[in-house]
Every structure is written in structure tokens, then in C-alpha cells.
RNA sequence: UCCUCCUUAGCUCAGUUGGUUAGAGCAUCUGACUGUUAAUCAGAGGGUCGUCUGUUCAAGUCAGACAGGGGGAGCCA
């Protein structure tokens, strides 16, 4: 058996002095021809390997370069140096893989995130991305644990869909038809009956509609999978391929929905604070360093861990859309005409408005409910007793400081006639959506759900400002390396 | 897609009003040192100044187009 090694995280957290160990990892630095800082990704902390002078061949020592992989047999000893409590005194050094020092792009120094983005295949070996992706893993694990503890069924909704009624964004087409000379029908349009599925298909933009079908049997389900949007979005918070978590709960209304979403976000944060303390401490310091470079007015004013604690300790502010508009209209910001976009009832809130509410006014996450029906999707439940012309739906968005919309959800329209009327008004073909409408025909119940953008959650918890730095291989317009 | 800024050594960046042979730190290589902590010290190599076109006696520097990237907006999660 090759692998009898001890992971560095475990080694550093209490392997007794005097133990013989096997350690493997990649060289971060090699100092003084004697001291190797070795890292295996289990933690940002390195184990110091000591190669005593004269004990090893010069030829072997020459091959210990940044990025090379080593297998070390040695003994755990108390360190004579100051930087670490223990170190491994090497008896055997095996070079598993060489790393040409002239070509290896990562140096023991600070690199820009932009540079590392172009070296996405190697950036996992840096402290920042080590921490980010360990935090991402913990968040993913916590997602499953949270729902599992509450009896939710993990439902895998399809990646390829024929439904194009969702309206969540531009879609990527899935086809096996040739680009040149695709078969045409009598109308001169591409004949999708000859395509692989016998119809036009796309990559999913949301698993929600299928998720609702599951909720109508299991009571509570969640999805957690990749989602695709072919929007030409070039921002720090959009990806063409991203991961989304979409719980859907029967016998739940909009308030239950908000309660669950808030509990969920807090659970995720709490989990990471408990299991990734070292990584958060590192990311906290990294963010503080980054913010030092910013002009004062762009700084968040508090640290990463401080922010996460504040979210855990304080409830999310809950306001209606109408209240949000009033707050904006009464703000000095508005009176001094500092908003680029005008504020009045009926508009979709612009990011500057959301940011004002979250970052200036409340200074904590805000849940906005009761949006105008005209600006929201067909499946959201019409609120009863609205003033004519001011119809609202039971929608809710959770806005987070620095990220903006992190959750979008709603109570769904369970009344068949109301839903059909809305779909007709919005030109959504009822016959194609018959399978969806069946949920309202056969034992319809009040139900609700939401979508949480996983990468935005990772951004929020890690403090990374660009979404491309919290997914392993980012897909954005004009960028599909690896 | 729109607005805006940027592109000089492997990386991070200087480069004055257009003017001789384009610099620094880190990295790399060579040597020294040997309990170092992004080791230190000495020396060396390393550049089609994003690409193309133009203005000019002369362009890293000025202008235009294109490409790539950052930030912001819209769309949203």
C-alpha cells in the first residue's frame, strides 16, 4: 500500500513528538537548503520538513523546488525554530514529481487574483483558494445536512429540459443537429422533430418547476445542482454556469418560506464558523488587507468574521416592497438626488436601491416581500385584497451586504384559475405546461420555495468580491478554459 | 450589450514635456552562508513596451481600430 501517510492537518493537531510518520505534499518553499514548507491542502498551515545538512544527496536537494511533490519518511520532533511547535525530521526524501522552477508560475509571494484566475488549474495551491474551496466544500456539506435534518428529500431535477416557460433568462440550446444545413420544416424553421429528443431542448435555468412536482408528493424537497444562463453578463456576481439550491415546501406560506431561508443561511454560516475557523481567520485577514487598498468610502467598515457574527446574532430585517419604496423616497440620498434611477411604486429595485437599503439604512440582511405583480414571474401567488392597479405577489428577495440578491423566492400560486389567467396574460402556453398545471388540478396545496445562488453564498461567507474566485472553473462570456 | 479604466521582464509595478543603451523589487540561474520562517548576501541572464495602422526628424510616451483584462450598469441567483 502506497498511502500510509498522515495528513498535515492531523499531524499539526496533536501527533505526539517521537512518532514516525509518512507525509506527502507539495513544496511551498525550500529555505536555506534545509527547511521545506510542505502543504497537502488539508489546511493552509504547512509542515516544516527538516533535511539535515549533509544527510541527503545534493542531487535530491536540487530537485526540491516550489511546486514539486514529495514523500517524506521521518520523525515528529519539537521544533528548534520559532515559527512552529513541531516539525518532521526527514529520514527519507522521495521526489514524487519534479517541478521545473523556471516554468512553475506560482512563487512564494502575493499574486493578483486576476493572474491566478488565468492559472485556475494551479490556484488551488495558494492559501486564498485553499481556504475558499475548503469553505465551499463545508457549505455544500452543510446544505445537505440542514435539509436532511429537516426531512427534505434531495431531488435531482434534469439538466436538459424542454421547458422554456420559466423565463429566468437566456438559455443554452442543446442539440445534436448539425450547425450547417440543419433540417428545416415547411415554414423554413429548424425542424427539431429530427433532433435527438424530437423537440427543442436547453440547459436548465432552474429546477423549480420540477421541484414543485416533487413537493406535491414528498411535502419537502430540495435541489442542489448546476444551472445555466446564456446571458451576456459581465459582473462580479454572475456566471453562465452556477450552482443553485432550491427547496420547495408543500403546506408552507410566504412567512414559513422566509423563516426557512433565514434559518438556512444562519445554519450555513454557523457550520463554517465551527468547522473552518482557520480558513475564516485567513480570509478575514486577506479581506482586511484588500480593503486597506480601497478608498475609505468603499470599505465595508467591519471584518469578515465580525460580519458573519452580526448576521448570526441579528434577525434579518423584513419589509414590504411598499415600505422599501417609502424608505427610499424619504431618504436624504433620494432628496439629494443621488440615485441614478428614479424611485416610485412599481419600479423594479435597482442595485443602487438595494445597496442603500442593506448597506446604508439597515446595515444587515434585508428580506423584501410583496413585489408588484407586473415585475415578477407567473408562478408567484397573487396577494389578496390589493388596491386595484397595485397588485402584488407573495415574493421575497433576501438582500445581503456586498452581494445583493442572494435568495429569490415566493409562495406559489396554488389556485388553478388564477394561475391560468396569469399565464394567459403573460403569453405562456398552457398546453405545454400541462404537466405543471396538474399539480394544481390534483390536490393542490399552498406551497412555497426559494432559490439560493450557491456561489453568492460562498462569496458572502468567504469575503471574495469576484464570483469567478469562488467556483473552480468559471464559465463567463468569452471564457471557457479547462 | 453599454459606460469607464488598464495592458512595459515569469510576477507586481516605475518610466518626467515625445529625444542616447527601457528600470526596480520579487522570481529564476551561479556562488557564498547554514535553525531558516515569502531566509540572507554577492553576481548573472531575462523585454517585438498587447496587436495593427497613423502623426512625427524621432513613439513605451500622441491619435485611431482591434484583442485581452479590471471596475460599474442592465439581466438575475
The answer to whether strand B lies under 7 Å from the CB of residue A347 is: no
The answer to whether strand B lies under 7 Å from the CB of residue A401 is: no
CA pair distance A338, A350, nearest whole angstrom: 13
pLDDT digits (tens, 9 = 90+) for A227-252: 999 988 889 999 999 999 999 999 99
Residues A160 and A174 sit within 8 Å (Cβ to Cβ): yes
**Strand B nucleotides with an atom less than 7 Å from a protein beta carbon:** 1-2, 10-13, 26-29, 33-39, 68-77
Query: Which residues 248-287 in chain A have a CB closer than 7 A to strand B?
Result: none
Q: What is the pLDDT of residue A164?
A: 65
Please identify which residue in the block is written with the cell numbers 523556471: A102
Q: What is the pLDDT of residue A331?
A: 93
Which nucleotide is closest, CA of A469 to its C1'?
A: B70
Among A405, A393, A401, A402, residue whose Cα is nearest residue A452? A405
CA pair distance A134, A121, nearest whole angstrom: 16
pLDDT digits (tens, 9 = 90+) for A34-54: 999 999 999 999 999 999 988
Residue A142 in grid coordinates:
452543510
Residue A463's region, left for phi above 0, alpha for psi from -120 to 50, else beta, is left
The answer to whether strand B lies under 7 Å from the CB of residue A207 is: no
Residue A203 in grid coordinates:
440547459
Average pLDDT value over all residues in chain A: 92
Let me know if A153 is exposed, middle or buried by CB neighbors in 10 A (0-12, 13-18, 19+).
Answer: middle
Task: Report whether pLDDT(A163) > 80.
Answer: no
When pLDDT is cut at 50, 70 and 90, the band that residue A389 belongs to is confident
User: Can you list the alpha helix ranges (DSSP code H) found in A408-468?
Assistant: 416-425, 434-441, 454-462
pLDDT digits (tens, 9 = 90+) for A342-358: 999 999 999 999 999 99
Which nucleotide is closest, CA of A455 to its C1'?
A: B77
Number of Cβ atoms within 10 Å of the Cβ of A96: 12
Q: What is the pLDDT of residue A302?
A: 82
pLDDT digits (tens, 9 = 90+) for A96-125: 999 999 889 998 888 999 999 999 999 999
- The helix (run of H) or strand (run of E) holding residue A367 is strand A366-372
Task: Report whether pLDDT(A448) > 90.
Answer: yes
Q: What is the pLDDT of residue A34?
A: 93
Q: What is the pLDDT of residue A419?
A: 96
Q: What is the pLDDT of residue A168?
A: 64
The answer to whether strand B lies under 7 Å from the CB of residue A409 is: no
Please identify which residue in the block is written with the cell numbers 413585489: A371
Which nucleotide is closest, CA of A33 to its C1'?
A: B34
CA pair distance A140, A154, nearest whole angstrom: 13
- The CA radius of gyration of chain A, in Å to the nearest whole number, is 27
The answer to whether strand B lies under 7 Å from the CB of residue A480 is: no
Q: Residue range A419-423: average pLDDT? A: 94
Please identify which residue in the block is written with the cell numbers 512553475: A104
The answer to whether strand B lies under 7 Å from the CB of residue A183 is: no
pLDDT digits (tens, 9 = 90+) for A276-329: 999 999 999 999 888 887 767 667 778 899 999 999 998 899 999 999 999 999
Which nucleotide is closest, CA of A465 to its C1'?
A: B71
Task: Report whether pLDDT(A188) > 90.
Answer: no
Which DSSP state fits A465?
S
The answer to whether strand B lies under 7 Å from the CB of residue A364 is: no
Q: Residue range A190-208: average pLDDT? A: 93
Which DSSP state fits A423?
H
CA pair distance A277, A326, nearest whole angstrom: 40
Q: Residue range A377-381: average pLDDT? A: 94
DSSP A246-283: EEEEET--HHHHHHHHHHHHHHHHHHHHHH-HHHHHHH
When pLDDT is cut at 50, 70 and 90, the band that residue A169 belongs to is confident
Q: Residue range A130-141: average pLDDT? A: 97
Q: What is the pLDDT of residue A479?
A: 86
Give, in Å, how far the C1' of B27 lies from the CA of A105.
9
When pLDDT is cut at 50, 70 and 90, the band that residue A482 belongs to is confident
DSSP A4-68: ----HHHHHTTPPTT-EEEEEEEEEEEETTTEEEEE-SS-SPPEEEE--TTTS-HHHHHT--TT-
Task: Report whether pLDDT(A330) > 80.
Answer: yes
The answer to whether strand B lies under 7 Å from the CB of residue A108 is: yes
Query: Which residues 16-35 in chain A have a CB closer than 7 A to strand B?
Result: 29, 31-35
Give, in Å, how far the C1' of B28 lies from the CA of A412.
62
Amino acid at each position: 500500500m502506497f498511502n500510509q501517510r498522515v495528513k498535515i492537518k492531523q499531524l499539526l493537531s496533536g501527533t505526539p513528538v517521537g512518532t514516525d510518520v509518512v507525509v506527502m505534499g507539495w513544496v511551498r518553499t525550500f529555505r536555506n537548503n534545509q527547511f521545506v514548507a510542505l502543504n497537502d491542502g488539508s489546511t493552509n498551515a504547512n509542515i516544516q520538513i527538516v533535511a539535515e545538512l549533509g544527510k541527503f544527496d545534493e542531487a535530491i536537494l536540487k530537485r526540491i523546488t516550489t511546486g514539486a511533490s514529495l514523500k517524506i519518511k521521518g520523525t515528529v520532533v519539537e521544533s528548534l525554530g520559532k515559527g512552529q511547535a513541531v516539525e518532521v525530521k526527514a529520514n527519507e526524501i522521495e521526489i514524487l514529481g519534479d517541478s521545473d522552477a523556471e516554468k512553475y508560475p506560482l512563487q512564494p509571494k502575493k499574486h493578483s487574483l486576476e493572474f491566478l484566475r488565468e492559472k485556475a488549474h494551479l490556484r488551488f495551491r495558494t492559501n486564498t483558494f485553499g481556504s475558499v474551496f475548503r469553505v465551499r466544500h463545508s457549505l455544500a456539506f452543510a446544505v445537505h445536512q440542514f435539509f436532511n435534518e429537516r426531512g427534505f428529500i434531495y431531488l435531482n431535477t434534469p439538466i436538459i429540459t424542454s421547458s422554456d416557460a420559466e423565463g429566468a433568462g437566456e438559455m443554452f440550446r442543446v442539440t445534436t443537429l448539425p450547425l450547417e444545413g440543419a433540417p428545416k420544416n415547411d415554414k423554413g424553421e429548424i425542424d427539431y422533430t429530427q433532433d435527438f429528443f424530437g423537440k427543442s431542448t436547453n440547459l436548465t435555468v432552474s429546477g423549480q418547476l420540477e421541484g414543485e412536482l416533487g413537493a406535491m408528493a414528498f411535502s419537502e424537497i430540495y435541489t442542489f445542482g448546476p444551472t445555466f444562463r446564456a446571458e451576456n453578463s459581465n459582473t462580479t456576481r454572475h456566471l453562465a454556469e452556477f450552482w443553485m439550491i432550491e427547496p420547495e415546501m408543500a403546506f408552507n406560506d410566504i412567512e414559513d418560506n422566509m423563516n426557512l431561508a433565514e434559518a438556512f443561511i444562519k445554519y450555513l454560516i454557523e457550520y463554517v464558523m465551527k468547522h473552518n475557523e482557520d480558513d475564516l481567520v485567513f480570509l478575514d485577514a486577506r479581506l482586511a488587507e484588500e480593503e486597506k487598498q480601497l478608498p475609505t468610502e468603499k470599505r465595508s467598515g467591519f471584518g469578515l468574521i465580525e460580519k458573519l457574527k452580526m448576521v448570526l446574532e441579528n434577525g434579518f430585517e423584513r419589509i414590504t416592497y411598499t415600505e422599501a419604496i417609502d424608505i427610499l423616497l424619504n431618504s436624504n440620498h433620494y432628496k439629494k438626488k443621488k440615485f441614478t434611477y428614479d424611485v416610485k411604486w412599481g419600479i423594479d429595485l435597482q442595485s443602487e436601491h438595494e445597496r442603500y437599503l442593506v448597506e446604508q439604512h439597515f446595515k444587515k440582511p434585508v428580506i423584501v416581500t410583496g413585489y408588484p405583480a407586473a415585475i415578477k414571474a407567473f408562478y408567484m401567488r397573487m396577494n389578496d385584497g390589493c388596491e386595484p392597479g397595485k397588485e402584488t405577489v407573495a415574493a421575497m428577495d433576501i438582500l445581503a451586504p456586498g452581494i445583493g440578491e442572494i435568495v429569490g423566492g415566493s409562495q406559489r400560486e396554488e389556485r388553478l384559475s388564477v394561475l391560468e389567467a396569469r399565464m394567459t396574460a403573460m403569453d405562456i402556453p398552457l398546453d405545454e405546461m400541462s404537466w405543471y398545471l396538474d399539480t394544481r388540478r390534483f390536490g393542490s396545496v399552498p406551497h412555497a420555495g426559494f432559490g439560493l445562488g450557491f456561489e453568492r453564498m460562498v462569496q458572502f461567507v468567504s469575503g471574495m468580491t469576484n464570483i469567478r474566485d469562488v467556483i473552480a472553473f468559471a464559465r463567463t462570456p468569452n471564457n471557457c478554459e479547462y
